[in-house]
Amino acid sequence: MFKKNLFFFILLICWAFTFGQSGLKSIQNKFTTQPFFTDFRQSITKINKQFSATSDFLDAAINSINSFNSLIKKENYRIKITSFNNPTSSDMGFNLENEIQSALKPLLVKAKNTNTNKFSQVVSSLLTNQSKTTPAKVVTGVNPLFSTLLGLVGTLTVQEKRITREDLDSFILVTSKYFVQYEKLNQANILFDQNIERINNRLKDLQFDIKEYMLDMITILNKNIQRSQFKNANTEELFLKYLDKSKMGTLFSSGTVGDEINSFRYPADGIKTAKDIAYNLQKHFNEYQKIYDDNYKQIRSILLESKSLGKNINTRQVDASLKELEELYSESKNSDVLSLRLTTLFERLKILTATEQAVAAGK
């Protein structure tokens, strides 16, 4: 297009020299009345507005999803809820090891052929090693521990004639109520981890969608670039190098767009894709909040139930644990909303949509 215009301009000059003053006046009229340059500037302005609004939206989307990824990896709340499963902890108002050793005493008193001190040490080692070998963020399985313990005590009952079936049943009755609480915690935490992992996978899919949306914009503005070049590039690198507003401002003001101006078409599904990204991010965050809310209610209910297990329960410790849990939950919930900046994301989506509508209307 530029070469054609230059050729046409040279022909006009030659024509002007051939026909004198009237020819020069004709040239002046040609370039002062022709709307070509005005239309070109208007096209550049419209395209710049579209892609600038997209840049603002993508900036907010990248910040929001990065904050979301950080949220689901936070440890304070998760460490606390899994710490309740530690058999040597007293956070639930009782110490499982102490309760088991106390329930064993009536049986060990009757034992004549067993080294009772060694037996107690073996039981203690089972519980202690369970807490040491299991990281705080991994849910502790209590059923295997209970089964192992029952196996030991069952063997003790068989070997010691003075220990009766009633003694064994009494031991099971006393200790099982504590294990039930641990099992409830265990199941609540397993479900929590599974739900968080599901959210994490969905965020990975959404991050892929954001990157694809960015590549749509990048390849429209840079015709010499292939999508395959950015297989391993992250979204932050792509944004800063190609879609930052200062980079696009330089592109549109440098005059390098030239003949390519007509190919700078904003994608027909660009607004729909942006809406899908924003609404899916909001949907996943709502689900994330529900997961935390459900887990908090479950753990709180289990702690409250512990108060009714018997007169030996330290209710003050249960209250302290409840308070700490509530503080961690509230702190987490409030900071989550602020850090995600979803309000900013939707404000920029609104501006992007309005910009596209104005361009479509020829404004």
Q: pLDDT tens digit string along 316-363?
A: 999 999 999 999 888 877 777 777 788 999 999 999 999 888 877 766
Mean pLDDT of 53-65: 94
Minimum mean pLDDT among 97-101, 287-291, 339-343, 351-355: which range?
339-343
| Straight-line distance from the first to the last Cα atom of the chain, in angstroms, rounded to the nearest whole number | 26
Burial 287-298 (b: 16+ CB within 10 A, else e): ebeebbeebbeb
Residues 140/86, Cβ–Cβ less than 8 Å: yes
Q: How far is CA 262 from CA 254, 259, 360, 363, in A?
A: 17, 7, 15, 18
pLDDT band of residue 191 (cuts 50, 70, 90) is very high
pLDDT at 287 over 60: yes
pLDDT of residue 260: 54
Q: Residue written as tokens 């022709």?
A: 34
Residue 28 lies in a domain: no
Looking at per-residue confidence, does 216 or 16 come out higher?
Answer: 216
Which of 184, 214, 232 is the C-terminal boundary of a domain?
A: 184
pLDDT at 131 over 70: no
Mean pLDDT in the chain? 82
Residue 334 sits in the same domain as residue 215: yes
Residue 154 lies in a domain: yes
Residue 77 lies in a domain: yes
CA pair distance 295, 346, nearest whole angstrom: 29
CA atoms within 13 A on the CB side of 302: 27
pTM confidence score: 0.77
Residue 282 sits in the same domain as residue 230: yes
Q: Is 170 exposed, middle or buried (0-12, 13-18, 19+ CB in 10 A)?
A: middle
Residue 34 lies in a domain: no
Looking at per-residue confidence, does 85 or 115 come out higher?
Answer: 115
Residue 214 sits in the same domain as residue 348: yes
Which of 184, 209, 233 is the C-terminal boundary of a domain?
A: 184
Q: Quick: pLDDT tens for 302-326.
A: 999 999 998 889 999 999 999 999 9
Residues 6+ apart with CB under 8 A from 267: 216, 217, 220, 273
Count of the separate structural domains present in the chain: 2
CA pair distance 287, 197, nearest whole angstrom: 12
pLDDT band of residue 109 (cuts 50, 70, 90) is very high
Residue 167 sits in the same domain as residue 100: yes
Residue percentage of the chain with pLDDT more than 70: 79
Q: Quick: pLDDT tens for 220-253.
A: 888 888 888 888 888 999 999 888 877 776 666 6
pLDDT of residue 76: 82
Mean pLDDT of 278-294: 94
Residue 33 lies in a domain: no
pLDDT of residue 46: 74
Domain of residue 115: give its range: 92-184
Residue 67 sits in the same domain as residue 177: no
At 83, which amino acid appears?
S
**Among candidates 308, 347, 238, 264, which has minimal Cα distance to 94?**
308
Minimum mean pLDDT among 36-50, 127-141, 144-158, 178-192: which range?
127-141
Q: Is 209 exposed, middle or buried (0-12, 13-18, 19+ CB in 10 A)?
A: middle
Residue 105 lies in a domain: yes
Residue 5 lies in a domain: no
Burial 57-93 (b: 16+ CB within 10 A, else e): bbbbbbbbbbbbeebbeeeebbebbbbbbbbebebbb
At 304, list the tokens: 């409250």
pLDDT at 261 over 60: no
Residue 107 sits in the same domain as residue 72: no
Residue 224 sits in the same domain as residue 301: yes
pLDDT of residue 119: 94
Helix, coil or strand: residue 341: coil
Residues 6+ apart with CB under 8 A from 300: 322, 325, 326
Residue 110 sits in the same domain as residue 239: no
pLDDT band of residue 275 (cuts 50, 70, 90) is very high
DSSP assignment of 105-116, as one string?
HHHHHH-SSS-H
Helix, coil or strand: residue 161: coil
Residue 136 sits in the same domain as residue 207: no
pLDDT of residue 315: 94
Residues 88/128, Cβ–Cβ less than 8 Å: yes
Residues 195/284, Cβ–Cβ less than 8 Å: no
Minimum mean pLDDT among 11-20, 56-65, 310-319: which range?
11-20
pLDDT of residue 249: 66
pLDDT of residue 129: 76
pLDDT band of residue 163 (cuts 50, 70, 90) is very high
Residue 260 sits in the same domain as residue 341: yes
At 62, list the tokens: 């990248």
pLDDT of residue 265: 77
Residue 77 sits in the same domain as residue 202: yes
Which of 161, 184, 207 is the C-terminal boundary of a domain?
A: 184
pLDDT of residue 285: 92
CA pair distance 49, 268, nearest whole angstrom: 16
Residue 165 sits in the same domain as residue 305: no
pLDDT band of residue 36 (cuts 50, 70, 90) is very low
Residue 197 lies in a domain: yes
